[in-house]
Structure 1
């Protein structure tokens, strides 16, 4: 649902995808608060509930994924990786609720990719021992490759964002065309396609985005 705000005689149009970003974020924040409350009440001498076991498995799986992909020394990135994959997956799956997936908006995917880009550059700077070491990294293995190294770094957030945006947007367009063409018969025919585009592809794309983010950040370690 689009939102139109009038401020000082000017109209500000907020597209539905941005509204849905806030919707997904609020839902996840409330969920996190509920989880935090339940974890504080959990007792070590009591058998954990099924809810707690699922959360423990999820956290442990992300920790193991970070250790395997980025190294155990980079385990501090696990909270960011967990947040990233949870947000993207929730955004992709929100299409099942009949709303426009936030990740079908390029401004959302490029924002997520830029966060990863900033983290990767910060990690590169930190592990290079300062500005000179950071700049020297772009001249390796030879100075002639400096422009290519710079372009390669700048291309990472673009490719990362377009991959997620293209897949989610493409699936949404295909489903929209089918609903328009099939009319009342659409729910019967499109059910298997929803499983693919909204569930399988949505989960897969969130995993791919997260894996590439870990590779980009972890690859900056000296």
Structure 2
């Protein structure tokens, strides 16, 4: 569902993918408030509810993944990786409800990749102990490789965003063509394909995105 906004006499069309992105964001914010409220009401003397057990399981899984991939010293990035994983998982699964997944819009995937890129550069600058050390890192192991190092660094957010965008968008196109070709019997035939493109592929792309994000950020520490 597209939105038509009129600002200062100009008409701005907001694509349905962007609208869905905000819906996912609002749902996750509400989810965060619910978790926070339940944690505050929980007692250490009582058995946690099934809901809190699931939340704790997810948090511990992400923390263990961050420790094994980035090292225990980088556990501070677990909150970012968890937020990224939840957003991508919900966004990629949005196709099951008949909506356009936000991640089928390149502006969304590139924005997420850009956040990882900025975090990587900030962490690299901090570990280089100054501008001189940061710039010197691009000249290693040999000075004449500097252009390749710069291009490789700039290519990371592009490759990261295109990988997620391409997989989600291609799945959506295939399903749309299938529904148009099969008509009324499409829901019956398309069920296993939904399981692959929306569930398996969506969760797989979520895992790949957060793994590459951790590798990029963790690599900036070396």
- Taking the TM superposition and a 5 Å limit, the aligned residue runs for 1:169-180 are 169-180=169-180
Partner of 1:219: 219
- Taking the TM superposition and a 5 Å limit, the aligned residue runs for 1:1-222 are 1-222=1-222
Give the TM-score normalised by the residue count of structure 2: 0.99
| Deviation of the 1:37 alpha carbon | 0.2
Q: How many residues align?
A: 222
Root mean square deviation of aligned Cα: 0.5
Distance in 2 between residues matched to 1:216 and 1:201, nearest whole Å: 22
State the 4+ residue runs in structure 1 displaced beyond 6 angstroms: none
Distance in 1 between residues matched to 2:217 and 2:196, nearest whole Å: 30
Distance in 2 between residues matched to 1:172 and 1:21, nearest whole Å: 16
Any gaps of 5 or more consecutive residues in structure 1?
none
| Deviation of the 1:203 alpha carbon | 0.3
Partner SS, residue 12 of structure 1: strand
Distance in 2 between residues matched to 1:26 and 1:48, nearest whole Å: 26
Give the TM-score normalised by the residue count of structure 1: 0.99
| Deviation of the 1:50 alpha carbon | 1.1
Distance in 1 between residues matched to 2:102 and 2:149, nearest whole Å: 32
| Deviation of the 1:3 alpha carbon | 0.3
| Deviation of the 1:8 alpha carbon | 2.1
Partner SS, residue 33 of structure 1: helix
